[in-house]
Each structure stands twice: as structure tokens, then as C-alpha cells.
Chains A and B, each alone.
Chain A
Amino acid sequence: MTVDQDVQKGRPEPIRAVPVRHPGRWAGAAVVLVLGAMFVHFLLFNPAFNWSEQWKYIFSDAVLRAVRNTIWLTVVAMVGGVALGIVLALMRMSPNPLMRGAAFLYLWFFRGTPLYTQLLIWGAIGALIPTIGIGIPFGPEFHTWETQKLINVALAAALGLLLNEAAYMAEIVRAGILSVDPGQQEAAAALGMSRMQTMRRIVLPQAMRVIVPPTGNETISMLKNTSLVAAVPYAELTFTAQTIYANTYQIIPMLIMACLWYLFLSSLLMIGQYYLERYFSRGVGGNGGGNRVRLRALRGGGRR
């Protein structure tokens, strides 16, 4: 206490200095404000947007069905892509050189060719592989299907996106597993855990911290890449917008309407990504108090 009082007595008066002026910031703000006002004016008064035309179609049956297809494609391609990606990642880290080689070839092909071209091939898959059968390799077949009937456009679109995504997810998963300190596996082994138990309980939960953020980005990319399946062709959001303006000639309104849907869906994904990242970073960087503050801000700036 006495020390405190001494400090009080001897403390010089607080500094009152003239703050540094920042004219550049004011100029920058003015430019941004003017550009912003111009943009709002552009949105409101450019007739090409034709907002009423957009409003007519945005919740129409055809568009809602297309939105559903887009969501369905995104979910299937991502879930399948992650699952196959984990398998490919484990194959790439396998002690068996044939496994490593097979995984490498897969990645080489699917990362080395454009997704759009791959989807075009899926659209014409019947020409490449006329029939699919179950039987003995190079021997007799027990049952044979016509490819064109077995793989309809929906399945072709989903497979095209899924197989391509798996190649990218494999690299993300591998990077995640490699990011975990090898000491963790040793500690788990020393406690008598099996390799599978170590992977499931110790390594993957920690790898998730590295895997989740790029996977979230991949999901958002996937949402937008579903528009490429117009190549198959499959009636997702962009393709449906094209079909509508092919009749009405309202090109810009329909494309902007599609953008509004994509923005809405990707915003939902970003919120989901935020919560997932928070969950998998538990135990890292102190008590997570900062996270909680940010969370409250996201929920609407706190209740009081």
C-alpha cells in the first residue's frame, strides 16, 4: 500500500500531446463514400437489373427445384469427396508402394485436367464405357448394364464433382495429418493405443484444426462449381437461369438472381464453417475467451 501511495505522490501528470493527423484516411473515406453512393445509385436506377422480373422468378418452382439440385450436388460431392479423400490420403502415406503409386496417379489425373472437361466426359460417359458389368476381370460377366441407363445425368454430375473433389481433399487431409506433432503418436503408442485408436482419437481430431478451414473453402467453391455441371447437362441453378432467359431474353436479371441465391447459400456455409473451426480449435491458444467475444459479436453485437 505504501508503495502505491509513493507512486501516486511521485507520478508525473498524464501526457496530453497533440495527436498525429491523418488527412490520408479522410481522403480515402471520402473516395469510398462517393464510390459507394454511385454503386447504390447504379443498383437502384439501372433498368437492366429489372428487379421485378427477378422477383417474379426467384421463388418460382423451376428455380427452387434448381436450388435444391445445387444443394444436393454440393452435399453429395463434398461428403463423398471428403470420404474418398481420406482414403486417398491414407493410401499416399501407406508403406505399400503400389498404394502410394495408385493414389499418386489418381491425383495426377484429376488435378491435372480441368473440371469442366472432366464433366463433359461424364456427360458422354456412355461413349467411353458402353456397358458396366459384374464378373471376373478379363473373364466372363455375370450381369451387364448399359452405362447410359445406369448413370443418369444427376449421377454423372455428382460423380464428376465428387471424384475431382476427392483429389483435392486427399491433399488437404494429408497436410492435416502431417501437421500433427509426431510426439502425439508416440505418446499414444506408449499408452498402448493401437494405430487405429491413435488415428481416430488423437491424430485426426488435431488434424481437423488444419483440415476444416480449407475444407470450408472447398465447400464454398463446390457450391459455385456445381454451375459447371451445365456441361453434363444437369438442371442446377445456373443452367436453369439460362433456360429461363433463353425464353424471356432477360439475361442480366436471371444471372443476378442466380448470384443472389449463391450469395445466400455461401453465407450459410460461412457461418457453419465458423462454428466448426471454433469447435476443432478447442484447447489451442488459451481459454478461448477471445473466441467467445467474437461469437457474441456475430450473434448480433451482444444483448446489452
Chain B
Amino acid sequence: MTTEKAARRPMVKAEQVHKSFGHVEVLKGIDLEVQPGEVMCVIGPSGSGKSTFLRCINHLEKIDSGRLWVDGHLVGYREKGGKLYELRDREVAEQRREIGMVFQRFNLFPHMTALENVMEAPVLVKKEPKDRVRERALALLDRVGLGDKVDSYPAQLSGGQQQRVAIARALAMQPKLMLFDEPTSALDPELVGEVLDVMKQLAEDGMTMIVVTHEMGFAREVGDSLVFMDGGVVVESGAPREVLANPRHPRTQDFLSKVL
């Protein structure tokens, strides 16, 4: 019974999430749910708030109103007696350990080798024994096809290779949710495929993923659901093939006619 209950609990749940930067309201009430094992792709024009929403999920941005849960836990706050309490930095950090994030600009640590990049957080944050982390890190780098690049510094790797190291680095924390913020947007066209292949493999292994992307092919093929955002709201969502083939909302139709 308990397993069934756990399976029904959404991995991510957003209720009326609002976020403003100064006077600009970037998110105007986002409602959505991501089930465990689901791959959700988020598309939309730039400035639509999709990256901001992604960053709210691991509390890199604070939301102004609404509620956001990851695996049943409120993000960034504790609710007690109908009152919200801000979490301490340490508690926020603890929440983030469970959520992997991959950035558009990779953000690898340039003063560390690929292997050191992957090993850093589990050793430093989770205090895991070094030799065990090394084993896992080597396996992860092998899995993303970089078994022969473990001692390379980021500057010696191509963009695609750097992004694959970044994915391995996030996976080393053994997260239950992976967030991808336009992971292929900064790559040369011929390097996009190798990163998408790794992500596809990850999806097939059952990882819960939220992917902000402009890769419609990936969304159609790998995504379980598709969300189209514009102007800080979810305009349309559904099965990727359905939304991409028969967009109902005129704004979706307009956007897709420009990118497809």
C-alpha cells in the first residue's frame, strides 16, 4: 500500500507559483505536477519564465507566492501551525542535494579535472568515503562516454563533453530529480546530439526530469509531457506529440510555426 501511495505522490507539484524581479512579474501563477519517472519538457519563447520556474524548484530563486513541493516537501520553507518559516541555509542546501541541475553554460569548476568535478560534492557535502565516490564517478563518466577524459580540465574539453561531465557531476549526488536548463543551447550544432543521447539514456533509466529546451525532436521522442509557457503562464500542456502536432492555443500555434 505504502509503495502505491508513494508512487502517486508527485515528484514536483506547483500551485499558483508567482515570482517577480522588481516590478516585472516573471511567473504569473504556475500550476503543474510532475510524476516520478516522468520526463517533462518545457518550451516557450525567451523571457517566458521557463528558466526562472526551473530555478525556483531548487530554490535558486525565491517564489513570492503560491506553493512548490518536491517529493512532498515544501521548497525553501517549513509550514507549522498555518505559518511559513524560512529554512536555514543549511536546510536549503540539504534539499538541493536531492535535485540535480544542469546549466546552459555548463558551469563546471575550471580548476578541477573532470573526475574532481564529479567527485567534489559527494565527498564535500555528503562526506562519502573518497574511494567509493571515485568508483562511482569513474562509472558515471564512463556512462556519459568520457571514460578516457577523466583527467582533463574543462578548458580541454569540447562544449558537448563539458555538458556531459556536468550531467555526471549532478548524477554523482544520486538525485531523485534532474533539472535541465537549456542544456544544449550553448553548443555547436554537431555537439547537441551527444548530450541529448545521454539525456535520453537517463530518461530510459527512469529518472524524473524537467527539461527546458528548444529541441522539439527531443521533446517529441523522449518527453512524457510537454508544457508550453508564454508570458509567465502555462499556456498549453499535454502529450508532446499531441501538442506539437495539433496545438490548440493560438500562441502555441504561433510559436511552433516559428521554430518547427
Contacts and interface: CB of A to CB of B under 8 A. Distances in A.
B111 A190 contact: no
A282 interface: yes
A202 B110 CA distance: 9
Contacts, number: 77
Interface stretch (B32-40, B96-104, B132-140, B238-246): B96-104
A206 B97 contact: no
Kindly name the residue among B93, B97, B113 whose own CB sees the greatest number of chain A CB atoms within 10 A. B93
Contact of A190 (B58, B90, B109, B154): B58
A184 interface: yes
Contact of A201 (B97, B107, B124, B156): B124
A287 B107 contact: no
Q: Which 5 A-B pairs have the closest CB atoms?
A: A192-B97, A187-B107, A283-B153, A191-B121, A190-B101
Interface string A172-207: 000000000101101111111111010001100110
Contacts of A285: 155
Interface in B135-180: 153-156, 169-170, 173
13 contacts: A187-B101, A187-B103, A190-B60, A191-B96, A191-B120, A192-B121, A192-B173, A197-B124, A206-B109, A280-B111, A282-B153, A283-B111, A286-B155
A194 B96 CA distance: 10
A17 interface: no
A284 interface: yes
Contacts of A197: 124-125
A244 to B, nearest CB: 49
A190 B124 contact: no
Contacts of B96: 189-192
Contacts of A187: 101, 103, 107-109
Nearest to A180: B110
Contacts of B108: 187
Interface of A: 181, 183-184, 186-195, 197, 201-202, 205-206, 280, 282-287
Nearest to A197: B124
B109 A184 contact: yes
Kindly name the residue among A195, A201, A286 whose own CB sees the greatest number of chain B CB atoms within 10 A. A201
Contacts of A191: 96-97, 120-121, 125, 169-170, 173
A124 to B, nearest CB: 47
Contacts of A181: 107
A201 B120 CA distance: 9
Kindly name the residue among A188, A197, A206, A283 whose own CB sees the greatest number of chain B CB atoms within 10 A. A283
Contacts of B94: 192
Nearest to A282: B111
Given A187-B109, A283-B110, A283-B111, A193 B154 contact: no
B60 A186 contact: yes
B136 to A, nearest CB: 15
A186 B100 CA distance: 12
Contacts of B100: 190
B155 A183 contact: no
A172 B107 CA distance: 24
Kindly name the residue among A183, A186, A192, A287 whose own CB sees the greatest number of chain B CB atoms within 10 A. A192
Contacts of A192: 93-94, 96-97, 121, 125, 173
A82 B174 CA distance: 39
Contact of B124 (A193, A206, A284): A193
B97 A283 contact: no
Contacts of A183: 103, 105, 107
A215 B154 CA distance: 27
Kindly name the residue among A181, A189, A197, A280 whose own CB sees the greatest number of chain B CB atoms within 10 A. A189
A202 B120 CA distance: 10
A224 B155 CA distance: 38
Nearest to B101: A190
A284 B153 CA distance: 8
Contact of B93 (A189, A205, A206): A189
Nearest to A181: B107
A193 B110 contact: no
Nearest to A186: B60
A205 B169 contact: no
B121 A284 contact: no
Nearest to A287: B156
A195 B89 CA distance: 8
A186 B153 contact: no
Interface in B75-128: 89-90, 93-94, 96-97, 99-101, 103, 105, 107-113, 120-121, 124-125
A191 B60 CA distance: 11
Kindly name the residue among B58, B100, B110, B121 whose own CB sees the greatest number of chain A CB atoms within 10 A. B110
A191 B126 CA distance: 10
